[in-house]
Structure 1
Amino acid sequence: MSKKINDTILKAFKGEETDYTPVWYMRQAGRSQQEYRRIKEKYSLFEITHQPELCAYVTRLPVEMYDVDAAVLYKDIMSPLPAIGVDVEIKSGIGPVIDDPIRSFKDVERLGKIDPESDVPYVLDTIRLLTQEQLNVPLIGFSGAPFTLASYMVEGGPSKNYHKTKAMMYSDPKTWFALMDKLADMIITYVKSQVNAGAKVIQIFDSWVGTLNVSDYRYYIKPIMHRIFSELKETGVPLIMFGVGARHLIMEWNDLPLDVIGLDWRMSITEARELGVTKALQGNLDPALLLSDWKVIEERTKAILDEGKVQPGHIFNLGHGVTPEINPETLKRLTAFVHSYSKK
């Protein structure tokens, strides 16, 4: 028997009036919670995601601790890559590491297709467990976007400058566009399976695409993003776009068939609206502020909420993910403040 769902955040994602500003936090599952850290002493990220009961618990924990208006599935943007033949390891203190990076057209040709029910059944089982039995708020599923996934696949791991990725993009467009198509196919199939399993919202993380200028984005990335969002539109769930350091791409995203633009802390909600952004907006407190005094946090949060309530369609979030140093009690207090301050 499924629980009654608090759908306030779904209304905000669609740009509708809500009784208060809903809130969730990127990377809210894990990171700073003691309960999660104890689990991580025993299991790696991939080991947790392969155990639906445990993964559902980690996903549910911040909803119960912080009273947020949505859960976000605990997994990594790397989770689907092994299914298409990319051997990836999440190394502590480093991030995703790929020992056999993509270097040529033949490497791209070797990539397979994902069959979610057989390749990532544990992800879908976790979603079903959460949405059919455990959650009273919507579940957000997600995927990495082609550029960000490609950056790890080409560089072999995290990068500060993405030189190898850009070099392929500029000097070998045939390989680049073949890689974009392969990843788009994977993302579309993977995301649709999450929605079919019960996810009510999807966020696409193009975390590192801000490294590109506008003209390169339009040529090398935007067409593939248009295809992805056009096909995902058929699912009927709200679609969120998010990247870091990408304020110069905001209007490019506003053109895409998506519902919500996630802002990092570099652009205010007012600035986005003045530019002409018509989508719902999500964000955008700098996570570093959560390490400061409560008075500072409250002032900055008020300013964001005041800007967000000028027109319907604002979801409060951080400008990037929760960091390990953030006190869970601060997040709990912040959620309560957002709810009370914004209540009509």
Structure 2
Amino acid sequence: MSEPKNNLFLKALRGETVSRPPVWMMRQAGRYLPEFMEIKEKYDFFTRCRTPELASEITVQPIRRFGMDAAILFSDILVVPQAMNIEVEMKPGVGPWLPNPIRKASDLDSVIIPDITDSLGYVMDAIRMTTEKLANEIPLIGFAGSPWTLLCYCVQGQGSKNFDKAKELCFTQPEVAHTLLQKITDTTILYLKEKVKAGVNAVQLFDSWGGMLSPADYQTFSWNYMQQIIDALKDETHVIAFGKGCWFALDQMAQSGASALGVDWTCSPETARRLTGGKITLQGNFDPTRLFSPPEDIKRMVTQMIDAFGKDNYIVNLGHGILPNIPVAHAGAFVEAVKTYRASS
């Protein structure tokens, strides 16, 4: 596979010197764009995920509008539990809903490690269709949820402020938790390897709920499994590891073999650089809610953020996914600030 014409993102992942850092936004394919809302009105959530024509169209919409330096495939982390024979619905006003949460050992009997091409072939079709649309102009990112984050939904049965039921299972029936975590890990490795074969240029692991755990529990129930995935993929592609609220593990993540680490907005660029030893590529960490600020403030703050991280070994991004009600012009100001960046002397 030849390198995309705009290879800033891949250069940053390799730690090469760049003229300016690359930029993309978590959840850039979606809910803040009027053209996405038009599709949303016609098709339900998982239909959009499972229909390659729709998923690829949604993936390239923000690229047409803003020209980010990387596209991220429109999909969802919960397609993995679905493929493992765990029922997942998307309920309007509620979000993810799992009618049969896993709460005891016998609940694992029906949970499988699937044949990826059979159960998730539609994702690979979407990747192939998207790479065709991107025409090798920019790289494409594939992603998966971390095993811990997926366990949170599988056990809790829905979103939560504290995922108390998920943590309770880990602390009262650890063998059930570890069996589920390993099954998710094995499935995720197979899934991401297929994505690489289908044509993605890098993959990102989203540990959205890692910050729910204490540092010791994080090692046991999250990081050990993320490390398995990184080990299995790092020789085949670039892996970005992102743990929201997991600044306490950044020093260890920096030793993992990942190409880059995501940082959320609660950790300053200076602290993130210090914790990671100053070498590894970092990605982030603009507060998504800050995109409500006036565009001129966004531009100023983005410039300050790049100055603080340094233009090399850095990928500009948000500290979590873009919010649905962000004005489109403000998202544009964020991207434009990076594209016009000049280091302040």
Instruction: Tell me which interval the TM-score lies in, with the shorter structure as reference length.
Output: over 0.9
How many angstroms does 1:48 deviate by? Answer: 1.1
**8 Å contact from structure 1 (residues 210, 249) kept in 2:** no
Aligned to 1:309: 310
The answer to whether residue 150 in structure 2 is matched with residue 149 in structure 1 is: yes
How many angstroms does 1:174 deviate by? Answer: 0.9
Write out aligned runs for 1:1-344 (5 A): 4-135=4-135, 136-235=137-236, 237-277=237-277, 278-309=279-310, 312-342=312-342
Per-residue CA distance 1:231-252 (angstroms, 9 max, x = gap): 11131x1111112222222223
Partners of 1:328 and 1:316 lie apart in 2 by 18
Structure 2 unaligned segments of length 5 or more: list them: none
Q: 1:222 to 1:106 in 2, by over 3 A?
A: same
For 1:292, give the aligned amino acid. Answer: S
**8 Å contact from structure 1 (residues 67, 332) kept in 2:** no
**8 Å contact from structure 1 (residues 141, 203) kept in 2:** yes
How many angstroms does 1:86 deviate by? Answer: 0.5
Q: 1:313 to 1:3 in 2, by over 3 A?
A: closer
Secondary structure of 1:262's counterpart equals: strand
**8 Å contact from structure 2 (residues 299, 333) kept in 1:** no
**8 Å contact from structure 1 (residues 3, 134) kept in 2:** no
For 2:233, give the aligned amino acid. Answer: L
**8 Å contact from structure 2 (residues 14, 259) kept in 1:** yes
Secondary structure of 1:110's counterpart equals: coil
Computed over aligned residues only, the root mean square deviation of the Cα atoms, in angstroms, reads 1.8
Partners of 1:301 and 1:232 lie apart in 2 by 32
Partners of 1:290 and 1:82 lie apart in 2 by 33
**8 Å contact from structure 2 (residues 295, 329) kept in 1:** no
Secondary structure of 1:317's counterpart equals: strand
For 2:18, give the aligned amino acid. Answer: T
Secondary structure of 2:254's counterpart equals: helix
Secondary structure of 2:109's counterpart equals: helix
Q: 1:53 to 1:220 in 2, by over 3 A?
A: closer
Structure 1 unaligned segments of length 5 or more: list them: none
Secondary structure of 1:282's counterpart equals: strand
Partners of 2:188 and 2:152 lie apart in 1 by 15
Secondary structure of 1:338's counterpart equals: helix
**Percent identical residues:** 36
How many angstroms does 1:342 deviate by? Answer: 3.9
For 1:124, give the aligned amino acid. Answer: M
Q: 1:209 to 1:42 in 2, by over 3 A?
A: same
Partners of 1:329 and 1:299 lie apart in 2 by 15
Q: 1:284 to 1:342 in 2, by over 3 A?
A: farther
How many angstroms does 1:294 deviate by? Answer: 2.2
Per-residue CA distance 1:172-206 (angstroms, 9 max, x = gap): 11111111110000100111111110010100001
Equivalent residue pairs, number: 342
Of 278-287 and 291-300, deviating more is 291-300
Q: 1:260 to 1:4 in 2, by over 3 A?
A: closer
Q: What TM-score, normalized by structure 2, do the two folds share?
A: 0.95
Q: What TM-score, normalized by structure 1, do the two folds share?
A: 0.95
